[in-house]
């Protein structure tokens, strides 16, 4: 047994666990913000979000370096190499999820018609909770070395897409405002940007789940349209 190789992989997994926890904290903070129905974020909340975002970027670079060093110096066998490459893909997607969180927190204060935002908050909140659950289950799949949660995550992606269309349709039907109301237009634009980023979070969760299955059994599900039960 190559102790150095085992320790190197264990260190990557430890760093990945720490990164995952920070990203999940960001998602929980965003969910709390959306559930409040408010468009102004407190200075304390913004400080935590921005500090975490900086940490996420640091961890991405750190883990990427650890992965490269492990591949070059330890020359892992096929099964270990598969796990390391899966971790690389998951780290990249976690970092992008972090970016989506920051994007959404920048868009929320730009909402100009607060009443419309509050009317849509239930659907947005449901989308957010579903996406967070997808991220959590995809990560859990990797750590528990089982693919059921990963498959659930991949299949649930369609549900998030459906929520997005439902939100846009509901917003248009409920508006009933004159065409000259520019605030409504800006609100719809920002709502669309927010839900698009939530949808991307779900997409990245799906990517993590696919990487998890690749790590567990070597099956590459990327670009496949269907997943067999």
- Name residue, tokens 């883990």: 63
Ordered by where they begin, the domains of the chain are 3-217 (1.20.58.220)
- Model pLDDT for residues 149-202, shown as the tens digit of each residue: 888 888 887 777 777 667 666 665 565 655 555 566 557 767 877 888 898 898
SS (H, E, C) 195-226: HHHHHHHHHHHHHHHHHHHHHHHCCCCCCCCC
- 100 and 6 Cβ atoms separated by less than 8 Å: no
- Residues above pLDDT 70, as percent of the chain: 83
Q: Running DSSP on this structure, what letter comes out for residue 39?
A: S
Phi/psi for 146 (5° steps) reads -140, 145
CA-to-CA distance for 65 and 68, rounded, in angstroms? 5
Phi/psi for 79 (5° steps) reads -65, -40
More confident residue, 223 or 127: 127
Quick check: 224 pLDDT over 70?
A: no
Supply the pTM of this predicted model: 0.78
């Amino acid at each position: 047994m190559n102790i150095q190789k085992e320790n190197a992989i264990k260190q990557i997994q430890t760093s990945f666990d720490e990164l995952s926890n920070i990203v999940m904290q960001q998602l929980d903070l965003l969910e709390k913000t959306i559930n409040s129905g408010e468009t102004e974020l407190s200075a304390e909340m913004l400080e935590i979000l921005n500090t975490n975002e900086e940490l996420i970027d640091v961890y991405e670079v750190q883990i990427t370096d650890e992965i490269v060093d492990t591949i070059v110096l330890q020359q892992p066998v096929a099964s270990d190499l598969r796990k390391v490459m899966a971790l690389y893909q998951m780290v990249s997607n976690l970092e992008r999820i972090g970016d989506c969180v920051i994007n959404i927190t920048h868009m929320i204060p730009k909402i100009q018609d607060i009443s419309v935002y509050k009317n849509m908050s239930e659907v947005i909140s449901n989308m957010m909770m579903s996406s967070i659950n997808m991220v959590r289950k995809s990560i859990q799949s990797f750590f528990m070395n089982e693919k059921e949660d990963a498959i659930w995550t991949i299949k649930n992606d369609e549900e998030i897409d459906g929520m997005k269309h439902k939100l846009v349709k509901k917003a248009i039907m409920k508006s009933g405002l004159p065409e000259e109301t520019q605030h409504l237009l800006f609100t719809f634009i920002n709502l669309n940007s927010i839900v698009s980023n939530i949808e991307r979070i779900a997409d990245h969760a799906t990517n993590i789940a696919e990487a998890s299955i690749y790590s567990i059994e070597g099956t590459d599900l990327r670009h496949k349209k269907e997943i067999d039960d």
